[in-house]
Structure 1
Amino acid sequence: MIKFQMPSLGADMEDGTLIEWKIKPGDKVQRGDIIAEVETQKGLIEIEVFDEGTVSELLVKEGSKVPIGTVMALIQSSKTALDQNEEKIIKEKGIDLQPIEEKTTAQIPVKEEIRMAIKASPLARRIAEENNISLSQIKGTGPEGAITREDVEQFILQNKQPKTAILTDKSNVQTVAIRAATAAAMSKSNREIPHYYLEKKIDVTKTLSWLKELNKNRAVEQRLLPVVLFLKAVAQSLKDFPDLNAIWDNGLQPKKDINIGFVVALRTGGIMVPALHEVDLKNCDEIMETLNDIIPRARALKLRSSDLSDSTITITNIGEGGADSVYGIIYPPQVAIIGFGAIAEYPFAENGMIGIRSTVSVTLAGDHRATDGLTGSRFLQTINKHLQNPENL
């Protein structure tokens, strides 16, 4: 029996509120299926399952605050048979692993029969009832036409003022919550992590020239941004510096996968840091596609649990027209964060000659328990080496 637990979505998360189950006992689930929506300080997060099987029991009620690690559901794996102990537990609890049978029409009043014939999630039904709305008025957009919470809320928004506060403008509340979560994590980082800081100015004239030539014959939506090359250069460099691609948890734990947390500024204020997984294995076009997918979802607060898991290092990128340099604070339990300032033209000395070159300031904040300034300095030099050879990224 698989025990599905409330996942951790970052060092700043202690618990989350279960808003809606997307499954019921008897449903079959596959790896990557969205099975629940959980409200955290980072907004409403879609929770994915990473096993395959049949839902046996939901152990947490919608609306409950759930600490990290709490078993939320039991899933019978489709890959292995039940052992005798599990069968005994299931029999004692009276858990039915088969889909729940529909009641006969003789058992259900006509009005209730009509209500149940309309497919809708439990939360969607509750919101509709609280606002005196008939589900028959709403068109469902969920699986097999089922009515979801979003369908009900959209109907309310378009047709009437809600009796509950579900649809009040939450942007300010969410901004405060996100900033509070970020501040809590950064305060902990400042207290517990002995930071050291390094900075290197990198000439990216050749890099940008190569990128301009590459983009020249591409459609606008297929063009690459400089940040793609920055991400790829960092990922390639981390292969030579595994102690920077790591977490600190009762000692240094280097990670095999290079999953880069990418800081996204929200339009209403605050930041989200979704993970770009296995960046070193992606080509530049694939990285651009990932950014085009994840940045809009981060700004709409529509991230999934996998988007907020397993980051091994973080990059913050100021972008065009911003500050010259950015000095990040390490996001625990990671041991490093890299900052890219705005690309700008500056006088730049090379081979005894001064010229105007496009440069970017790259900073590294490292955890002194994991690495030191010499390692960090060599790492920045390696990033520079890769950016001088963009055709090999």
Structure 2
Amino acid sequence: MATTVRMPEVLTGVTEAAIQTWLVEPGQEVAVGTPIAEVETDKAVVEYAAEVAGTVLEVLVDAGDPVAIGDPIAVIGAPGESAAPDEPGPDEAAPAETADASAPAPAPAPARAAPSAPAASNGHDADAPRRFLSPIVRRLVREWDLDLTGVDGSGPGGRVVRRDVDALVAERREAASAPAAPAAAPTAPAAAPAAATPAPAADDASVEEVPLTGMRRAIARRLAESKSTVPHFYVEADCRVDRLLELRRQVNEASPVRVSVNDFVLKAVAGALVDVPDANATWGETVIHRHRSVDVAVAVAIDGGLVTPVLRGVDRMSLSEVHATVADLAERARAGRLKQHELEGGSFSVSNLGMYGVSAFSAIINPPHAGILAVGAARQVPVVEDGELAVGTVMTVTLSADHRVVDGAVGAEWLQAFVRRIENPLSILV
């Protein structure tokens, strides 16, 4: 019997994801463990492998369409077997999937949809195969009351896919916005036009509409939830980094691995979490989780979004190990090859925009972490040394903390410990 492949919960707490790329196509044989798709979530693109062996009979979801966790995405079975998946969910049997001659025809009917047909040819024939639609297609069909009778889909095997429905919606919009023909013989004086259903705004050549990816949609949802449900407070400090930059120069002269300022920052963050263990914690609704391991997430910009892979045991790493680990995670993040466990855990994040010349900023906490450090660029500014004016190199950092877990005094103590290590960089190495 054919097996339904459903959208996996690749990351804890994710409610929807999208297929970024299909790695297989209908008719292709797969074994258990064969990568079949790259699944895009709010945190990363994760490779998903087949859990059953067989032939890919059909893919049910277009790349880029958001899909709820657990919804069907493909069918795997024996060659020649029917592509009808096992145990169809209630949504798959929704009336919107096929046209019903007994139902009232929508008005106005889409230009590409054929008129109502006799029951023998309307898709409910007892011998006719069911039409499987992706969740986003089903939603659009319901929202726009579309009639799919006679529509030849452009997807595999003639399946109706997102672009087909978008074309029908565009035709429906054109019909709604077209001016109505004048009446042949009005029997009363002309009156003001009746209020009609508002038409969508006219296309503006100066505005480009960029479709939301699954990752961008999920990032928006998660950060909006964080900002609205997590009580943020902010603590800012300036760090003198002249000694750190000199130490980095010496390290890079003596080592084959060239370390960055960000590597020192990550080590200083880990050291401060060791110095102030109350800050190494996360909110647990009924408890506060105090972490024994110092695991720190680092923000990595990728095409179309942001991911935060986690470094484990940063306090026990050398600078060169931190550098190599971050480089590896960043490279695989941009290639969509991160593993699930590399995106979960930790209590703290670091976001560094210094390489873009940003002097200071405040970051939004990445739940369930209790804090994130926003790091600005090192810049030369006037400073006072022993009562005299001089030029020093200063880096501004801003701690965003979850007030449910970290009190103001604890946040200030942690930031003080961080600054102390940055301004005395030899403490980072020992």
How much does 1:34 deviate?
A: 7.9
Cα distance, 1:299–1:242 mapped onto 2, change above 3 Å? same
How much does 1:286 deviate?
A: 0.4
Q: How far apart, CA to CA, are the structure 1 residues paired with 2:211 and 2:316?
A: 34
Task: State whether structure 2 residue 232 is matched by structure 1 residue 212.
Answer: no
Determine which of 264, 275, 298 is the counterpart of 2:310.
275
CA contact (8 A) 1:229 1:284 kept: yes
CA contact (8 A) 2:17 2:214 kept: no
SS at the partner of 2:275? coil
SS at the partner of 1:216? helix
**Per-residue deviation, residues 131-170 of structure 1 (Å, max 9, x unmatched):** xxxxxxxxxxxxxxxxxxxxxxxxxxxxxxxx9699x9xx
Report matched runs for 1:1-393 at 5 Å: 6-7=8-9, 9=11, 13-16=14-17, 37-42=38-43, 44-46=45-47, 176-219=213-256, 222-250=257-285, 251-266=287-302, 268-393=303-428
Equivalence for 1:92: none
The runs of 5 or more residues in structure 2 that have no matched partner are 1-6, 72-79, 81-153, 164-208
Higher helix share: 1
How much does 1:246 deviate?
A: 2.2
CA contact (8 A) 1:48 1:306 kept: no
Q: How far apart, CA to CA, are the structure 1 residues paired with 2:349 and 2:370?
A: 9
Paired residues, what number? 285
How much does 1:57 deviate?
A: 9.1
**Per-residue deviation, residues 70-96 of structure 1 (Å, max 9, x unmatched):** 9xxxxxxxxxxxxxxxxxxxxxxxxxx
CA contact (8 A) 2:42 2:219 kept: no
Cα distance, 1:8–1:334 mapped onto 2, change above 3 Å? farther
The runs of 5 or more residues in structure 1 that have no matched partner are 50-54, 71-107, 109-162
Equivalence for 2:123: none
SS at the partner of 1:376? helix
Cα distance, 1:42–1:330 mapped onto 2, change above 3 Å? closer
Q: Kindly, what percent of the aligned residue pairs are identical?
A: 29
AA aligned to 2:288 is: L
Q: How far apart, CA to CA, are the structure 1 residues paired with 2:324 and 2:315?
A: 15
Q: How far apart, CA to CA, are the structure 2 residues paired with 1:174 and 1:257?
A: 40
CA-atom RMSD, angstroms? 4.0
SS at the partner of 2:279? coil
How much does 1:211 deviate?
A: 0.7
Could you tell me the TM-score, scaled by structure 2's length?
0.56
How much does 1:386 deviate?
A: 1.3
Cα distance, 1:206–1:249 mapped onto 2, change above 3 Å? same
How much does 1:279 deviate?
A: 1.3
Q: Higher Cα Rg: structure 1 or 2? A: 2
AA aligned to 2:242 is: T
AA aligned to 1:196 is: F
How much does 1:332 deviate?
A: 1.5
CA contact (8 A) 1:328 1:338 kept: yes
CA contact (8 A) 1:272 1:298 kept: yes
How much does 1:324 deviate?
A: 0.6
AA aligned to 2:385 is: E
Cα distance, 1:272–1:174 mapped onto 2, change above 3 Å? farther
How much does 1:37 deviate?
A: 4.7
How much does 1:63 deviate?
A: 5.6
**Per-residue deviation, residues 351-393 of structure 1 (Å, max 9, x unmatched):** 3333211111011011111122211111111011212332332
